[in-house]
Chains A and B, each alone.
Chain A
Amino acid sequence: MNKSICLYFQVHQPFRLRTYRFFDIGKNHHYFDEYFNRLILRRVAEKSYLPMNEILLNIIKEHPKDFRLSFSFTGLVLEQMELYTPEVLESFRKLIATGNVEVLSETYAHSLSSLRNNGEFERQVKAHTQKVKQLFGIKPTSFRNTELIYSDEIGERVAAMGYKVMLTEGAKHILGWKSPNFMYTNAINPKLKVLLRNFRLSDDITFRFSQQNWSEWPITAEKMVGWLNKFPEKEEIINIFVDYETFGEHQPAASGIFDFMKALPSAVIKNSPYRFRTPDEITKKHQPVSSIHVPYPISWADEERDLSAWIGNNLQDDALEKLSALSEKIEEVDDVDLKRDWNYLQSSDHFYYMCTKWLSDGDVHKYYNPYPSPYEAYINYMNVLSDFAIRLEEKSPGAAEIMDNVLKNTSKLGKELGKMASKKIQEAEKSVKEKYQQTKAKSKPVFEDIMHLSDAKVKKLIKELEAEQLAVALKDASEEIRGKVIPNLTQKAKKQMEDLQQKMTEIKQKDIQAMRKKVEEKLKNFF
């Protein structure tokens, strides 16, 4: 039982915009069509989420050890469930509580933030983790990006956030001759494992399940197991990644999709070497075969498997640029309503509605699309964004406020600087003094240094010398030095010295020098 099959279901519903007219700008800040959004969520819950959850729960009860699967929920759909269908949230909780379900991490707003390097991506992933923890009590360790968007660089950023494995599309143009049925690693950081969607089997379920003109129709669990068993011996991981709405919504109950899903797990477990594993379990079970190079972003959308469903035409690019331009400002603002709208406005769906490649994938783009054409989608979105920008501008610290802050801070800064400077100056002064003293101490004092002594010290010096010595030393000394020393002599010593000096008129220069040296020796102790 060395082979793995990985089931991963994506659950997402955007907050769709209401018709927001030019006249609403600056006046009405209510952007979202609550009625429509609630209607859709209720409908999808009834037709898909609730019945499918029950089926999955029963399968888990039947195969508590062998059946495992993974989900990811966007923050937006979780919020809508809290608002409109708490029973669905409860049903997911039950499923997750079995311990057989791994919940994956992604961006909170189902956003395209991974395409920009402004910190928004990381912020959203963090916010999503918090939401999942709050609702389900678990911390996701595996990552899937919006619409399975992936590139080497995005993978590296995901690895930097501490994730061990990331899911993406097994797009033909990146795989070439390689098979998606292995585990790969990120090309920049090999610590991040990459799981690739087997798009043939996945799309058989999402798109072709009810296509009666398809040669393989109808698919049964046995047929699917037969295909699984036909893969070469070495190919060990089959990743089936689909939208959860596939079950009951894209493929209606009448197509037999529920019966197929009821029968599939048992058939796989009984008749194939495959075992159901979650992404986290797969990284522990299997070894990567090589790195996979994805220099340009890929996704699971449309035939192109690139970003052209959301970016690339002028409508989309203008809208996304204008949105992204606000990301710095929103960081500075602390306003619950603005932050909420900011999240809702980022979901990739808004840009999906602006897509103009109708020919190949028009049908998928029409799914709950509130707009008759991409132009209306753009016009409406830009009106909303204009109002949002105005609100953001008003909430952002205004120019006057900024100026005030700058001034306040500068005066504060000035004071601080002043304090620091005076401290430094004092320190410098001190060290200069010390240095001076030190050099002074090192260099030998000369006789003339007597001048720098205080009178008290002079008196002390005199005491240490004999009157004769002093008399010799002072002979021929300058008036200044004499003036410094003589007044400090006692009356007695003065007299003695004057007598001596008169007697010593014949004293040789040499003796004077010798005597002065002696005085200098003594002087050392006085500095």
Chain B
Amino acid sequence: MKILMFGWEFPPHITGGLGTACFGLTKGLVKHDTDIIFVVPKAYGDENQEAVRIVNASEVTINLEIDEEREYWDRVQYMEVGSNIIPYVGPEEFNKVTELEKRASENFKSKVFSQKYEFSGKYGLNLMEEVARYALVGSAIATKQDFDVIHAHDWLTYLAGIAAKETTGKPLVVHMHATEFDRSGENINSDVYAIEKRGMEAADRVITVSNLTRRIVIERYGIDPSKVVTVHNAVDPKEKELSDAEKQIKEKVVTFLGRITFQKGPEYFVEAANKILKRDNNVRFVMAGTGDLLHRMVMRVAQLRIGHKFHFTGFLKGDDVDQMFAMTDVFVMPSISEPFGIVPLEAMRSNVPVVISKQSGVSEILKHAIKVDFWDIDGLADAIYGLCHYQALSEDFIKYGKQEVENLKWEHAAAKVKEVYTSALEDFKNR
């Protein structure tokens, strides 16, 4: 089976969980006789191509003389969106959020229709422009490639997915890694919501990363439940083991790692830390990551007078993340809303016991994790304290947690995805 897959990022150039998930999934799919053409807005040349063939959308030229492309654009033109939004931002883009407003949309069309277009492939200022251009490229690529199913990851690629379907008539599967409600709470961006809804409506199948997300898709987007399938994410086994010698701190280390935004519940972590530090001096807390709530968290930590035991590392990637896990005794993810949450799996894979909120998708599949309500600060503190100090408990969680995670292979998740492809194809043939 051949799949045309649209993504937005691919390792090593990633800013969030999306790229990691795409990479894991494609590697799993290869084991089930699947060929994948993976399209990214901007390829750097050093992407890992062991499982996929990377197509760089920046290199695709568009000949506007070709009628079919022109025609397609006329059909999708109404989707043109005049504003820019930033769903997941890396640290570089973060400070530029305010500048966003300034961008005029005048040359939007002329840029999108230029022969060649240099994508940034990030989540920056020209995001909507890039999404629109990506859609155009999607239809161009679709005409040139041979494939059976189109698979689009997250709203950024949905327009490209729809375009490819419209151009070729092949079945479309869209993958919801996160909904606009997960990113923005109740203050959603209606343009993004509209693209998500349109993508799911146009799709033959919708894959959600958890039942939590599946419910949101059905209840808040009104998508037909019969075409929404949950396939939980997985995690790849770790390539190299980091030794515990990396840990140079005597105290127990409790870590939060993720974007410091409202949805991730960082304030519950700070409050729980405060409760523990008031009784137990033998713990240090680390908040790794960045986000719009970072400064507020720093101020709160200072106000609680726990700054000597509570550290901020800024955004971590690659080896720093591994080193962080190697130093960590308890990992905490107190998300208020988390479609899946792959980081706890990475922590468990690195022999770190985890505390996760019941409001996360990953809690649906994990047994060896302590689950608390995100708002239950006492419960959070209890769980952290217990894992720090009761050796029998933490040993069990480390041992069985690791086994559990090792069984959550992408290969298994990919098998389920393949079933989704097959059923979509069958429907398509029977039509």
Contacts and interface: CB of A to CB of B under 8 A. Distances in A.
Interface of A: 21-23, 25-27, 313-315, 317-319, 321-322, 373, 375, 378-379, 382-383, 385-386, 389-390
Given A25-B248, A373-B295, 17 more contacts: A21-B313, A22-B286, A22-B311, A22-B313, A23-B327, A26-B248, A26-B249, A27-B248, A314-B303, A315-B298, A318-B301, A318-B308, A319-B302, A322-B305, A375-B294, A375-B295, A383-B311
B250 interface: yes
B307 A319 contact: yes
Contacts of A317: 302, 305
Given A375-B295, A375-B298, A378-B302, A318 B313 contact: no
A21 B319 CA distance: 14
Most chain B beta-carbon neighbours within 10 Å: one of A22, A25, A319 = A22
Contacts of B305: 317-318, 321-322
Interface string B231-256: 00000000000000000111000000
A385 B286 CA distance: 15
Given A318-B307, A386-B311, A379 B298 contact: yes
A318 B311 contact: no
Contacts of A315: 298-299, 302, 307
A25 B286 CA distance: 12
Interface in B303-352: 303, 305-309, 311-313, 320, 323, 327
Contacts of A319: 302, 307
A378 B298 contact: yes
11 contacts: A21-B313, A22-B313, A23-B327, A25-B249, A27-B248, A315-B299, A315-B302, A315-B307, A375-B295, A375-B298, A386-B308
Contacts of B295: 373, 375
Contacts of A313: 302
Interface of B: 248-250, 284, 286, 294-295, 298-299, 301-303, 305-309, 311-313, 320, 323, 327
Given A23-B320, A315-B298, A375-B294, A385 B312 contact: no
B245 to A, nearest CB: 11
B325 to A, nearest CB: 12
A390 B307 CA distance: 14
A385 B249 CA distance: 14
B284 to A, nearest CB: 8
B286 A318 contact: no
A398 to B, nearest CB: 13
A385 B310 CA distance: 12
A193 to B, nearest CB: 39
A454 B312 CA distance: 93
A375 B300 CA distance: 11
Contacts of A379: 298, 311-312
Nearest to B305: A318
B307 A382 contact: yes
Contact of B308 (A27, A375, A385): A385
A382 B302 CA distance: 10
Contacts of B308: 318, 322, 382, 385-386, 389
B269 to A, nearest CB: 15
Nearest to B306: A318
9 shortest interchain CB distances as A-B pairs: A314-B302, A26-B248, A314-B303, A318-B302, A22-B311, A375-B298, A382-B307, A318-B307, A315-B302
A26 B327 CA distance: 12
A318 to B, nearest CB: 4
Contacts of B320: 23
A112 to B, nearest CB: 17
Contacts of B301: 318
A382 B307 CA distance: 6
A351 to B, nearest CB: 12
A366 to B, nearest CB: 16
A21 B312 CA distance: 8
A391 to B, nearest CB: 12
B396 to A, nearest CB: 28
A178 to B, nearest CB: 38
A82 B254 CA distance: 43
Contacts of A314: 299, 302-303
B317 to A, nearest CB: 13
Nearest to B311: A22
A20 to B, nearest CB: 11
A16 B24 CA distance: 44
Contacts of A321: 305
Given A25-B248, A25-B249, A26-B248, A378 B323 contact: no
Nearest to B327: A23
Contacts of A383: 311
A440 B284 CA distance: 78
Contacts of B248: 25-27
Contacts of A318: 301-303, 305-308
Contacts of A385: 308
B311 to A, nearest CB: 4
Contacts of A378: 298, 302, 307
B371 to A, nearest CB: 27
Contacts of B327: 23
Nearest to A379: B312
Nearest to B320: A23
- B294, B305, B312, most chain A CB atoms within 10 A: B312
A373 B320 CA distance: 23
A120 to B, nearest CB: 18
A392 to B, nearest CB: 12
A223 to B, nearest CB: 43
Nearest to B286: A22
A480 B213 CA distance: 117
Contacts of B298: 315, 375, 378-379
B40 to A, nearest CB: 31
A455 to B, nearest CB: 79
Given A22-B313, A27-B248, A378-B302, A322 B294 contact: no
A25 B250 CA distance: 10
Contact of A322 (B286, B307, B311, B323): B307
A23 B323 contact: yes
B248 to A, nearest CB: 4
A157 B302 CA distance: 31
A137 B190 CA distance: 74
B312 to A, nearest CB: 5
Nearest to A321: B305
Nearest to A381: B307
Contacts of B249: 25-26
Nearest to B248: A26
Nearest to A28: B248
Nearest to A385: B308
Nearest to B295: A375
B156 to A, nearest CB: 29
Contacts of A386: 284, 308-309, 311
Nearest to A325: B308
Nearest to A23: B323
A57 to B, nearest CB: 47
Nearest to B309: A386
A237 to B, nearest CB: 42
A250 to B, nearest CB: 28
Nearest to A394: B250
Contacts of A322: 305, 307-308
Nearest to A326: B308
A386 B310 CA distance: 10
Nearest to B308: A322
Contacts of B294: 375
B350 to A, nearest CB: 16
Contacts of B323: 23
A23 B34 CA distance: 42
Nearest to B247: A26
B293 to A, nearest CB: 11
Contacts of B284: 386
B281 to A, nearest CB: 11
B19 to A, nearest CB: 24
Contacts of A389: 308
